[in-house]
Structure 1
Amino acid sequence: MEENKKKVIHRLRRTEGQIRGIQKMIEDEKECIDVITQLSAVRSSIDRVMGMIVAENLKNCFVSPDDDPEEQEKKLTQAINMIIKK
């Protein structure tokens, strides 16, 4: 769990740096296509972080299942819906 947490935080910090870079690009009036390319990269990075968090949640559901099977199913369904939702 701790290793996954470090990876998520590292990726979020990189994404934060990308966003600061995009702000500078806009201030410097860079080409629209270049800004959009960087925004797309940020979106991909955020999607990846979401996937990492949901995957960890799913793993925890299987490793440490709830006593209540209905609650377990609800959590699994919720996690799956978050993965496939775009």
Structure 2
Amino acid sequence: MTTEKQNIMNRLKRIEGQLKGIQRMLDNEACCVDVLIQIAAVKAAVNKVGTLIFENHAKECLTSSEDTRPKDEVIEDLMKVLISFIK
């Protein structure tokens, strides 16, 4: 497993733990403000994972010798992926 993939997997496991923590908070009727803070943290963590995956994808697309399409076409496809990610 590559270092990047392991990093992403570790982050996803951490997010899973955060989500379980939020479930426990709700079971224990924690303060809504505290729950919302944890939800914001999960959203930020998910966005970071998405950014890392996009970054790896972009590097792969721009340096791939297997893709014979013109670079402007590759970049256009990459921009479509970015736009759908940030929506």
TM range (shorter): 0.7 to 0.9
The aligned counterpart of 1:2 is 2
The aligned counterpart of 2:37 is 37
Which structure's relative contact order is higher, taking Cα pairs within 8 Å and 6+ residues apart? 1
Q: Secondary structure at the match of 1:30?
A: coil
What is the one-letter code of the residue matched to 2:81?
A
Q: Residues 54 and 82 of structure 1 are in contact (CA less than 8 Å); yes or no, is this contact kept in structure 2?
A: no
Long gaps (5+) in structure 1: none
Compute the TM-score of the two structures, normalised by the length of structure 2.
0.87
Compute the TM-score of the two structures, normalised by the length of structure 1.
0.87
Moved over 2 A (4+): none
Instruction: Kindly report which structure 2 residues correspond to 1:8-19, keeping only aligned pairs within 5 A, or say none.
Output: 8-19=8-19
Work out the CA distance in 2 between the residues paired with 1:4 and 1:78: 23
Work out the CA distance in 1 between the residues paired with 2:39 and 2:51: 18
Percent of aligned pairs sharing the same letter: 34
Work out the CA distance in 2 between the residues paired with 1:79 and 1:59: 13
What is the one-letter code of the residue matched to 1:62?
L
Q: Residues 18 and 42 of structure 1 are in contact (CA less than 8 Å); yes or no, is this contact kept in structure 2?
A: yes
Provide closer, same or farther for how the CA distance between residues 28 and 16 of structure 1 changes in structure 2, counting only shifts above 3 A.
same
Long gaps (5+) in structure 2: none
**Is 1:78 aligned to 2:80, yes or no?**
yes
Work out the CA distance in 1 between the residues paired with 2:75 and 2:37: 39
The Cα offsets for residues 10-46 of structure 1, whole Å up to 9 and x where unpaired, read as 0000000000000000000000000000000000000
